[in-house]
Amino acid sequence: MNHDFLWGGATASYQCEGAWKEDDKVKSMWDHYLHEENLENGDIASDHYHRYEEDIRMMAEGGQNSYRFSLSWPRIIKNKEGDVNEKGIEFYHKILDTCKKYGIEPFVTIYHWDLPQYWEETGGWLNEEVCYAYQHYAKVCFDNFKDKITHWVTFNEPKWFICSGYLIGNYPPAHQNPQETIKAAFHVMYANALGVKAFREGNYPGNIGIVHSFTPVNGIDDTVETKIAMRYADNYCNNWILDTAAKGEIPIDLLTALSKIYDISFIKPKHLKTIKENTVDFLGLNYYSRTLVKPYTEGETVLIVNHKGKESKGESKVILKGWFEQVLHDPNMTYTEWDTEIYPKGLQEGLIEVYQRYHLPIYITENGVGVQEDVSVDQVQDDYRIAFMNDHINAIMNAMDEGVDVKGYYAWSSFDLYSWKNGCKKRYGLVAVDFEDNLKRKPKKSYYWYKEMIQNNGKTIKR
């Protein structure tokens, strides 16, 4: 690890700030949706809005030298006309100044899912106008914070929020519509290019990248059919974001396949030109697990028995129905409480593959494990989190040994947060937040482990 390696933790505005209507912040689509559905929400969350100083101080005391967080669009832009809320700007200046005070390098995401509800009401990401509104918002961020931020991220996890919002329907706007999914996905990648364009045109200092929910694709066997299925799975899972952002090209076989089933006439030469001319400087990869696939079999419902002996239905991804099927569980592997396979090797292999394809610097912008924990104790003994982080950091080091240019690692999450739709019981933090007892902060065992590991520049990692 070199000495400018960034070691930190990550959060997102909606998941930690709370203060959902303070200082003239307007409603985000998440505020609206969770209130309407009467679900656990982030109205208060970890109350980072009022406790950021303590949180950032703890990061520094934990040996971390960087903090990845996001700006909230509905805190910064008041309305469709694009008027700026100075109080929102002020809040992020305070966060950035606190980072500076404690020697913490900010790594900042412009959009982490909290679209202003006033834009959602015009069609959200289905409306091309929102792409230009995003560009305006990004410019406001660049202009206001250019002296304090040099690591910028346009979007966090386009695949995850688009597919959850428009295909699966478990995130707002909660639609289940493949045609809409394609359109929203395209608009987000176009907005990404518009954000990069504004950054280049303004000649702002620093670099700009995108953060992707990365799941390297493995096949169940080596047959030609599986290889073909893997290519489509990779297009669906990764390439439409990474190729588009890094090379300025949407995978042509994906476009051809989609155009046979869906209307893609909204993709115009002017969009493709902007995408081609405005590619990112680095890639941020959020890594939790891999995707294991098999070829699609017409009419077959695959029953897969997971490690807990539960049966679950393997569903093909409807958007590319007929191309591949995702194997949800491999009975030989271990899974988290939320059924996420623990597979550090995928990070090593995936890093090598991504670096070979794009030759761009890479940050691991999220990695961690969500667990239900009793935080009333003095110190949460999260040895499982230590083991998880150890094995994933080891995987990163192995990839770096093979020449991959990794520049930073962010644990998800810096402290316990609200987890989208899972509420506050799914905890990822290095620091416990007691949501039952005044939101008290208490470092977990992993926080001290991480500190020691950073101080020894990775030498305490069991390899």
User: Min. distance of Cβ 284 from ligand GCO in angstroms?
Assistant: 10
Distance of alpha carbon 168 from the chain centroid: 17
Q: Where do runs of H (alpha helix) occur along 27-85?
A: 29-36, 48-61, 73-76
User: What is the C-alpha R_g of the chain?
Assistant: 21
Residue with smaller CB distance to ligand GCO, 232 or 420: 420
Residue among 7, 69, 324, 420 that touches ligand GCO (CB under 6 A)? 420
- The residue count for binding ligand GCO (CB under 6 A) is 13
User: Min. distance of Cβ 422 from ligand GCO in angstroms?
Assistant: 6
Residue among 158, 248, 350, 370 that touches ligand GCO (CB under 6 A)? 370
Question: Which DSSP helix (H) or strand (E) runs through 434?
Answer: strand 431-434
Stretch that binds ligand GCO, among 1-9, 46-54, 145-153, 416-424 (CB under 6 A): 416-424
Interatomic CA distance for residues 161 and 12, integer angstroms: 13
Beta bridge partners of 218: 292
Residue among 1, 6, 7, 12 that touches ligand GCO (CB under 6 A)? 12
Q: What are phi and psi of 327, to 5 degrees?
A: -85, 115
User: Min. distance of Cβ 31 from ligand GCO in angstroms?
Assistant: 16
Stretch that binds ligand GCO, among 133-141, 291-299, 419-427, 452-460 (CB under 6 A): 419-427
Strand order in the sheet with 291-294: 217-219, 291-294, 325-327
Q: Does 154 bind ligand GCO (CB under 6 A)?
A: no
User: Min. distance of Cβ 413 from ligand GCO in angstroms?
Assistant: 7
Q: Does 426 bind ligand GCO (CB under 6 A)?
A: yes
Stretch that binds ligand GCO, among 34-42, 143-151, 217-225, 420-428 (CB under 6 A): 420-428
Stretch that binds ligand GCO, among 182-190, 232-240, 388-396, 421-429 (CB under 6 A): 421-429
Q: Does 183 bind ligand GCO (CB under 6 A)?
A: no
User: Min. distance of Cβ 213 from ligand GCO in angstroms?
Assistant: 7
Question: Which DSSP helix (H) or strand (E) runs through 67?
Answer: strand 66-70
Residue among 111, 232, 412, 447 that touches ligand GCO (CB under 6 A)? 412
Contacts of 154 (CB under 8 A, 6+ apart): 110, 111, 138, 191, 192, 195, 196, 208, 209, 210, 280
Tokens of 148: 């304090």
User: Min. distance of Cβ 435 from ligand GCO in angstroms?
Assistant: 14
User: Min. distance of Cβ 242 from ligand GCO in angstroms?
Assistant: 16
Tokens of 355: 């670096």
Peptide bond before 173: cis, by omega within 30 degrees of 0? yes
Residue number with the shortest CB distance to ligand GCO? 419
Q: Does 114 bind ligand GCO (CB under 6 A)?
A: no
DSSP codes of every residue in 320-381: GTTT-EEE---TTS-B-TT--B--HHHHHHHHHHHHHHH---EEEEE----B---TTSSS--
Q: What are phi and psi of 387, to 5 degrees?
A: -65, -45
DSSP codes of every residue in 240-292: HHHHHHHTS---HHHHHHHHHHS--TT--HHHHHHHHH---SEEEEEES--EE
Max Cα-Cα span within the chain:
60
| Residues composing the chain | 463
Residue with smaller CB distance to ligand GCO, 286 or 390: 286
Stretch that binds ligand GCO, among 54-62, 95-103, 304-312, 422-430 (CB under 6 A): 422-430
Restricted to residues 21-50, the positions that interact with ligand GCO (CB under 6 A) are: none
Residue with smaller CB distance to ligand GCO, 172 or 370: 370
Residue among 46, 144, 215, 286 that touches ligand GCO (CB under 6 A)? 286
Clarify whether 366 is annotated catalytic. Answer: yes
Residue with smaller CB distance to ligand GCO, 189 or 400: 189
Q: Does 157 bind ligand GCO (CB under 6 A)?
A: yes
Residue among 117, 239, 419, 446 that touches ligand GCO (CB under 6 A)? 419
Q: Does 170 bind ligand GCO (CB under 6 A)?
A: no
Residue with smaller CB distance to ligand GCO, 12 or 285: 12
> Which residue in the list 366, 373, 402, 452 is annotated as catalytic?
366
Beta 431-434 vs 325-327: how paired, if at all?
Answer: unpaired
For 293, half-sphere exposure in the C-beta direction (CA atoms, 13 angstrom radius) is 30
Q: Does 366 bind ligand GCO (CB under 6 A)?
A: yes
Q: Where do runs of H (alpha helix) occur along 102-251?
A: 117-120, 129-145, 158-163, 178-201, 224-234, 240-246
User: Min. distance of Cβ 446 from ligand GCO in angstroms?
Assistant: 16
Per CB under 6 A, residues contacting ligand GCO are 12, 15, 156-157, 286, 366, 370, 412, 419-420, 422, 426, 428
The set of catalytic residues is 366
